[in-house]
Chain A
Amino acid sequence: MEIFQIVSIGMIATIIILILKKQNPELATLVSIVVGILIFMFVIGKFSTNISEIMRMVNQSRLENVYVMTVFKVVGIAYIAEFASQICKDAGEDSIGKKIELAGKIIIMNLSIPILTALMDIILHIMNEI
């Protein structure tokens, strides 16, 4: 089971960070980054098979491919922004973390504007027909 590997990596890393934090907190921050990446690498293989399955279902149901792609892009941007902002927060730089989150939100909004305009077009079209 992979969950036991992930849990043991997390606990070992916590002990290492506790040892390192007193003398050099910079290295403790780097250890926490490495642990985040390692755990992500453990689960990303499973997640990519899930995504390809979802894409197959979308292709079968003849939905617009672009919208589902936008959802995946939003998830990726949100994950990266959250990763960086939590590391900043752990290192005591809450303000930089908040700014990274804000940037992520703005980029996500930029990506999702086309979907909103498509929805508005549909609504206006229906209203004109009535």
Chain B
Amino acid sequence: MGIDILFKIAAIGILVTVLNQVLLKAGREEIAMMVTISGIVIVLLMVVNLINNLFNNVKSIFQLY
């Protein structure tokens, strides 16, 4: 874990944007929507782990049970 997750999310975002615009130009709006949603889901799966980590850290440090 570190700063590389930031660059991963940025890369996924830029990739999704480019794919979105290509698909929109080709007239495939529904597939462009699918690409956007799948990008968000992938990033969300990465971020959920991190949020869980944060909650566990805060719980153990501030003795919240």
Contact = CB atoms under 8 A, between A and B. Distances in A.
**Is the contact region of chain A dominated by helix, strand, or loop, or is it mixed?**
helix
A79 interface: yes
A24 B36 contact: yes
B6 interface: yes
7 contacts: A9-B3, A30-B43, A31-B13, A35-B6, A40-B57, A76-B64, A80-B55
Given A9-B3, A9-B6, A24-B36, 10 more contacts: A16-B9, A16-B13, A24-B40, A27-B12, A31-B10, A37-B51, A37-B53, A38-B2, A41-B1, A75-B62
B61 A48 contact: yes
Interface string B35-48: 01001100110010
B40 A20 contact: no
A122 interface: no
Contacts of B64: 73, 76-77
Nearest to A78: B62
Contact of A24 (B7, B39, B51): B39
Interface of B: 1-3, 5-7, 9-10, 12-14, 16-17, 20, 36, 39-40, 43-44, 47, 50-51, 53-55, 57-59, 61-64
A43 B23 CA distance: 43
A54 interface: no
B63 A20 contact: no
A73 to B, nearest CB: 5
B16 A24 contact: yes
B62 A73 contact: yes
A33 B47 contact: yes
Contacts of A73: 62-64
Q: Which 3 pairs across A and B sit closest by C-beta, in order of nearness?
A: A76-B62, A23-B17, A27-B13
